[in-house]
Amino acid sequence: MNGVSLASGKGTPGRVNEPIRDTGDPQIVLGLLTSIERDSRVTQRKLAGDLGIALGLANAYLRRCVRKGLVKMSQVPLNRYAYYLTPQGFAEKSRLTAEYLSVSLDFFRRARGDCALLLRQCRARGWQRVALYGAGDLAEIAVLSAVDTGIEVACVIDVGRAGRSCAGVAVVADLAAACLAAGPGGLDGIILTDTTAPQQRFDELRATSAAFGFAPDAIVAPSLLAVSAMRQEGSAADAVTAEAGE
């Protein structure tokens, strides 16, 4: 079996089987979700080692994530299990990542590095003008990083702060206004900088931007936001499979 049985949780001595609080430790949950996203066949023993916790506690957190609908499991050959993040799991992982980073002393340093790397990649693709999606600290850092790469930030999209400015850049209400603000040259892409609900905003943006002529890969995000395009693509694949089975 893959470590300790999800059904029983037996066989672990001492305090490791004591129940966890309903909220749990956000950092442990985040680490667990991240490990499962990297490797769906990760064992509970490997999870425990990666997280630095006892095997029984890793089992307890895994059971909680399954019960909460964040993780689904399926049996694979050799009597083992594979674990997968559900759409709710991807959203929770992204939310926990943003929440953790927002209070971390390393936020600025990591955000600056991630934004600089992303903007260099955008420049390598020939991008010259972008809009940011979500005003706030991360958007301000992205504006500063853009100066070093020669990419112009035409505006920041944030309906709650429309009419204001962010790091000297105008904030507009929606994508239509952003395209207008970009002028005749238009926008090459949109960079997500929302830290309140990054996965949700990313999914919404990818769904609505097609009407303005943006390809899916024109919507990008710094790696620290931990958003995943797999969630939306997986949902579309599930829908196609369901239709085929009718």
Superfamily of structural domain 106-231: NAD(P)-binding Rossmann-like Domain (3.40.50.720)
pLDDT at 124 over 90: yes
| Largest distance between two CA atoms of the chain | 68
Render pLDDT for 43-61 as a digit per residue (tens, 0 to 9). Answer: 999 999 988 899 999 999 9
Render pLDDT for 65-93 as a digit per residue (tens, 0 to 9). Answer: 999 999 999 887 766 789 999 999 999 99
pLDDT at 10 over 50: no
Q: What is the pLDDT of residue 230?
A: 66
Q: What is the pLDDT of residue 243?
A: 41
Structure tokens at 39: 């490797």
Render pLDDT for 84-120 as a digit per residue (tens, 0 to 9). Answer: 999 999 999 999 988 887 767 678 889 999 999 999 9
pLDDT at 167 over 90: yes
Of residues 122 and 238, the one with the higher pLDDT is 122
Kindly report the pTM of this predicted structure: 0.64
Structure tokens at 184: 């005749």
Q: What is the mean pLDDT of the chain?
A: 84
pLDDT at 13 over 80: no
pLDDT at 16 over 70: no
Burial class (CB in 10 A: 0-12, 13-18, 19+), 162: middle
Domain limits, CATH 3.40.50.720, in the chain: 106-231
Pick the CATH number of 14-85 from 1.10.357.10, 1.10.10.10, 3.40.50.800, 3.40.50.300: 1.10.10.10
pLDDT at 166 over 80: yes
Of residues 213 and 21, the one with the higher pLDDT is 213
Which ranges of the chain does DSSP label H, i.e. alpha helix? 26-38, 44-51, 55-67, 87-102, 107-124, 137-149, 175-182, 198-209, 230-245
Share of the chain above pLDDT 90, in %: 67
Q: What angle do CA 132, 85, 22 make, to 5 degrees?
A: 100
Alpha-carbon dihedral 205, 206, 211, 212, rounded to 10 degrees: 70
Q: Residues near 46 by Cβ (< 8 Å), separated by ≥ 6?
A: 35
DSSP per residue, 139-203: HHHHHHHHHHHT-EEEEEE-GGGTTSEETTEEEESSHHHHHHHH-TT--SEEEE---SSHHHHHH
pLDDT at 11 over 50: no
C-beta separation of 120 from 146 below 8 A: no
pLDDT at 20 over 90: no
SS3 84: strand
Q: What is the pLDDT of residue 171?
A: 98
Domain limits, CATH 1.10.10.10, in the chain: 14-85
pLDDT at 156 over 90: yes
Closest CA to 215 of 205, 201, 228: 205
